[in-house]
Amino acid sequence: MNIKEWCIVLILPVFCLFGMAQCTYDNYVKYKVAQAADKVVKERQ
């Protein structure tokens, strides 16, 4: 394997992990926002 192939092999998993982390973080934020909104709705009733 040449250097270019090694770079691709090493960089791809990093991008995958970063993408997964970003996705998980986005879902966590959406969940927290939904929870907060739910709380506000319950307090208003």
Can you tell me the distance from the alpha carbon of 1 to that of 3, in angstroms, rounded to the nearest whole number? 7
Can you tell me the distance from the alpha carbon of 42 to that of 38, in angstroms, rounded to the nearest whole number? 6
Give CA separation, 5 vs 17, 31, 37, in Å.
19, 39, 48
Give the pLDDT confidence score for residue 30 in this predicted structure: 96
pTM listed for this prediction? 0.56
Q: What is the CA radius of gyration of the chain?
A: 20
Give the pLDDT confidence score for residue 8 in this predicted structure: 87
pLDDT at residue 45 is higher than 90: no
Q: 2-24, pLDDT tens digit by residue?
A: 888 988 889 988 988 999 999 99
DSSP letter at 2?
-
H helix or E strand, kind and range, residue 22: helix 3-44
Q: How confident is the model at residue 43 (pLDDT cuts 50, 70, 90)?
A: very high
Q: Where along the chain do its domains lie?
A: 15-45
